[in-house]
Amino acid sequence: MLPAVALLVGSFFVAPVRVESTSMEPTLLSGDHLLVDDHAYRDAPPGRGDLVVFAGSGGTLVKRVVAVGGDTVAIEDGVLEVNGRAVREPAVDPKTVDGMYYGPARVPSGTVFVLGDNRRHSVDSRQFGPVPLTEVTGRVILRWWPRPGRP
């Protein structure tokens, strides 16, 4: 089925991607299949909150953009701060990030700072640094399998 979907959507600049980790839980679960817009960032860069796909050392990664070039990012006792202001993150369980600290660090121009929603089990920009825009290959537009309504 997957090759048929790839062939069908390939002409629309959409590609299938399978989630291979728990780093984006509860938003995306391991085994979820996504459709990714390969041309989403041809005219404009990713924005805060976008779920992006990029090549990492272990293969294709999916993470959330939390800061863009020029921003300052920090995590203070589990609370994400961008440019000195706390960011509301409904997909992140505050009980799982209590006691976490990072930064502050400035995000260089031409890059994005990405985090997994499951912060305790995510390798992300805290470890490998900001992701160059040239490495971002697309934006997640749809979880199509297992079923979109799954928690």
- pLDDT tier at 1, thresholds 50, 70, 90: very low
Residue 65's closest CA among 48, 78, 79?
A: 48
Sheet with 131-132: strands ordered across: 14-18, 33-37, 136-145, 51-56, 59-68, 111-115, 131-132
Question: Per the residue annotation, which of 11, 30, 63, 95 is the catalytic one?
Answer: 63
Rg (Cα) of the chain, in Å, rounded? 15
pLDDT for 6 equals: 47
DSSP 5: H
Residue that wins the pLDDT comparison between 138 and 15: 138
Kindly tell me if the per-residue pLDDT of 7 is higher than 50.
no
Kindly tell me if the per-residue pLDDT of 20 is higher than 70.
yes
DSSP 30: T
Residue 21 annotated to the active site: no
Question: Per the residue annotation, which of 23, 57, 122, 125 is the catalytic one?
Answer: 23
What's the rounded Cα separation, in Å, for the pair 57 and 81?
27
At 132 the three-state DSSP class reads strand
- pLDDT tier at 24, thresholds 50, 70, 90: very high
Report the half-sphere exposure of 18 (CA within 13 A, side-chain side).
7
Instruction: For residue 63, report the phi and psi dihedrals to the nearest 5 degrees.
Output: -145, 170
- Indicate the pTM of the whole model: 0.85
What's the rounded Cα separation, in Å, for the pair 79 and 85?
10
End-to-end CA distance of the chain: 24
As a whole number, the mean pLDDT across the chain is 86
pLDDT for 12 equals: 59
Residue 63 annotated to the active site: yes
pLDDT for 56 equals: 80
pLDDT for 149 equals: 58
Residue that wins the pLDDT comparison between 143 and 123: 123
At 112 the three-state DSSP class reads strand
- pLDDT tier at 142, thresholds 50, 70, 90: confident
Q: Render pLDDT for 94-134 as a digit per residue (tens, 0 to 9).
A: 888 878 899 999 999 999 999 999 999 999 999 999 999 99
Kindly tell me if the per-residue pLDDT of 69 is higher than 90.
yes
Tokens of 102: 């990072």
DSSP 73: E
